[in-house]
């Protein structure tokens, strides 16, 4: 199914339906045919960042998908590099329609934490009322937390964790990833320091065994230092066998949270 969708993302005519205005970079909602829509991020629509090479964010989304495939997590929607997009070359990813009533990350009052959910951060809202950032104690989110540690994801907001109308969860928006410097910033800190389940560690070990040559396109999107840092993160996770802790020199929670 994934390969068939990727072929359609690559080959079907793409028509822009509108722009997603909340996105920091140019992000377009496109239709490809009757039953397939896509998020298209043209490379030339990237806003320069001081800590990432210019023009690399869309490619990082593509290689993040390839890494997720090798892990076998299948959390990132099918993603391709589209050379002939309406606004030039860029990332094209299957659009996922979100079931907002089934979110697995939330901000709630302290007395409204859902049963079985994990508190991550206590804060106050704009009116000074206490609130808590929470997420579900869900093994699929554990896999996403491992994926983010591998990708060194600097922007796992609550809105980047999507539940579709079949109940499947997806992770989106992986442009700010795969830096050499530690940048992990996420809402999924609920297992920080806890042991990583064995089946997830086996997936990390499998990825490490295929690096650097077994990931399609990796040397196109990442330089040698970024690939070496990716290998180091995989080896560190396998060696410690535990979820990472927040880095002392980097903000642990993205802002805004959603």
258 residues of the chain, pLDDT tens digit each: 788 999 999 999 999 899 887 777 888 999 998 789 999 999 988 888 888 888 899 999 999 999 999 999 999 999 999 999 899 999 999 999 999 999 999 999 999 999 999 999 998 888 889 999 999 999 999 999 999 999 999 999 999 999 999 999 999 999 999 999 999 999 999 999 999 999 999 999 999 999 988 898 899 999 999 999 999 999 999 999 999 999 887 789 988 877
Q: Any long-range contacts for 9-12 (C-beta under 8 Å, 24+ apart)?
A: 9/36, 9/38, 9/78, 9/79, 9/80, 9/82, 9/92, 9/93, 9/94, 10/80, 10/82, 10/92, 12/36
Q: What is the pTM of this model?
A: 0.94
Residue ranges of domains in the chain:
2-99+138-240
The hierarchical CATH code for the domain 2-99+138-240 is 1.10.510
């Amino acid at each position: 199914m994934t390969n068939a969708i990727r072929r359609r993302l690559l080959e079907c005519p793409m028509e822009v339906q509108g722009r997603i205005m909340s996105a920091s970079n140019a992000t377009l909602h496109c239709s490809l045919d009757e039953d397939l829509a896509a998020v298209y991020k043209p490379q030339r629509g990237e806003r320069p960042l001081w800590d990432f090479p210019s023009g690399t964010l869309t490619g990082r989304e593509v290689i993040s998908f390839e890494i997720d495939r090798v892990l076998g997590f299948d959390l990132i929607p099918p993603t391709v590099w589209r050379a002939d997009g309406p606004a030039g070359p860029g990332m094209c990813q299957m659009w996922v329609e979100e079931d907002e009533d089934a979110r697995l990350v939330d901000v709630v009052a302290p007395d409204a934490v859902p049963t079985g959910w994990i508190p991550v951060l206590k804060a106050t809202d704009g009116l000074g009322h206490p609130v808590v950032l929470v997420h579900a104690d869900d093994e699929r989110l554990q896999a996403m937390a491992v994926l983010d540690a591998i990708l060194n994801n600097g922007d796992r907001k609550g809105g980047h964790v999507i539940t579709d109308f079949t109940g499947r969860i997806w992770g989106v928006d992986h442009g700010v990833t795969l830096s050499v410097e530690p940048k992990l910033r996420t809402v999924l800190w609920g297992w920080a320091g806890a042991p990583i389940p064995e089946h997830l560690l086996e997936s990390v070990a499998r990825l490490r065994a295929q690096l650097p040559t077994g990931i399609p396109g990796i040397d196109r999107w990442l330089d040698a230092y970024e690939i070496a840092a990716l290998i180091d993160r995989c080896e560190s996770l396998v060696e410690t066998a535990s979820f990472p802790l927040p880095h002392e020199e980097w903000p642990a929670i993205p802002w805004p949270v959603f």
